[in-house]
Amino acid sequence: MTSSVLVIGTGYIGYNVALAFVNAGYKVYGLVRKENTQRLNDLVKNEITPIVGNAQDVDLWLPIALKVDIIVESIGDSRDYTTPFKILEALKKVVVENKDVSILYTSGLLVYGDANGQVFDEKSPRVSHVFMDWRIKIEDEYKTLGALIIQPSILYGLTHSLVRYFFEVATQGGVIDIYGDANQVQSWIHVVDLARLYVLLAGKAKSLRGQSFIASSYNENVSDIVREIAHVSNTKIDQINYLKPTENPFTECFGYTQKPSIAKITSLGYTPIKPSLLQDAKIYYDSWKASEGSLDGAYKYIRTVIPRSE
C-alpha cells in the first residue's frame, strides 16, 4: 500500500518537499492558499492533490491529517507566529487518534545563534533571540509529540528565496553594504537536497522520534560568495562595507557566523547532490535572474532590510 503525506504549506520549502515525496512514490496532499493560483496549478500538474485554503482553517485539512502516514509542517511566514501554534494544537489532537503518524517540523538553524566560528551540532544549546524564541518553544512542544525537527541552514537554488539577498547586494556593484564581517561563514543547502533529506528522514522516522536534525551541505565564506556572484554577473565591486545590525532584530541574524556539523545526517545516509554556491555561481545567478518576479512572502519581508548603497 502506498504511503501518504500531507504537506502543510507549499511555499519554497514545502513545494519542493512535496515534489520529492511524490517522485519517491508517495501519495501527496499539499495545502495551498486559494489566491495562489499558480502554485495550485503546479501541484496538480505534478500529481499532488491540492487542499485549497489557509493553514489556520484547521477543519479543512484535519480530516487528511488523521489518515496520512506522514505530516510535514512547512509554514514559511515568519511574521505571523499564531499560525504555527494553531497548527501545533491541531496536531496534538491528530497524534492521539493517528498514533502511527510521523511528523516532520520545519524549524531553522538560526535557533543556535551566532557560534563565533565554533563548530556546533544538534546537542549544542539553542540561543535566546527575540526573532527565534517562539521557534525554540515550538520545537520543544513538537519533540513531546515525537516529531522530527528539521533545522535548515540558508537555502538556495531554483527560485532561491532568502538567498536572493546576496544576489541583490552583489549585483549592485561599486561600493556595497552587507551585514556581518569579512570573515563571516554561513551554512548553505540547496532546496532540492533539503527535500531529499525530508524523504530520507521520513523513511526512518519511527526510530528517530523526538530528535533534531541540522540540515546543511556546505559552510562557505559570505564575502567569497558575494564576490563570485559579482564576477559571474560581470559586476565590478570596488569595496564591501560591513554593517552593524539595525534596530530590526532580523538584521542581526544576517551577520551570524554558523559552521554546523552535519555528521548526524551524514551518518543516516545524506549526501548532497547539488554543487555549492561557490562551485556553480553562474548557474545559480542565471536561475535567480530568471525567477526575479517570483518573490515568496518571506523574501518580500527580507527585501525591506537589504542595505542599499547610495
Fold held by 164-186+221-259+275-305:
UDP-galactose 4-epimerase; domain 1 (3.90.25)
Return d(Cα 310, Cα 307) in angstroms, integer.
10
Higher pLDDT, 298 or 280: 280
* pTM for this prediction: 0.94
Q: pLDDT tens digits for 260-292? A: 999 999 999 999 999 999 999 999 999 999 987
Average pLDDT of the chain? 92
Check: CB of residue 275 under 8 Å from CB of residue 133. Answer: no
pLDDT above 90 coverage of the chain, percent: 80
Model pLDDT, residue 116 = 84
Q: What is the pLDDT of residue 248?
A: 80
The residues that bridge with 104 in the sheet, in sequence order, are: 72, 148
Count each helix (H run) and each strand (E run) in the chain, helices first.
12, 14
Q: Would you kindly state where each structural domain of the chain is located, as residue ranges?
A: 4-155+189-215, 164-186+221-259+275-305
Residue pLDDT, tens place only, 164-213: 889 999 999 999 999 989 999 999 999 999 999 999 999 999 999 999 99
Query: Which class is domain 4-155+189-215?
Result: alpha beta
> Tens digit of pLDDT for each residue in 234-256?
999 999 999 988 878 778 888 89
pLDDT of residue 215: 99
Q: Are 291 and 247 in contact (CB under 8 A)?
A: no
Buried b (16+ CB within 10 A) or exposed e, 134-171: ebeebbeebbebbbbbbbbbbbbbbbbbbbbbbbbbbb
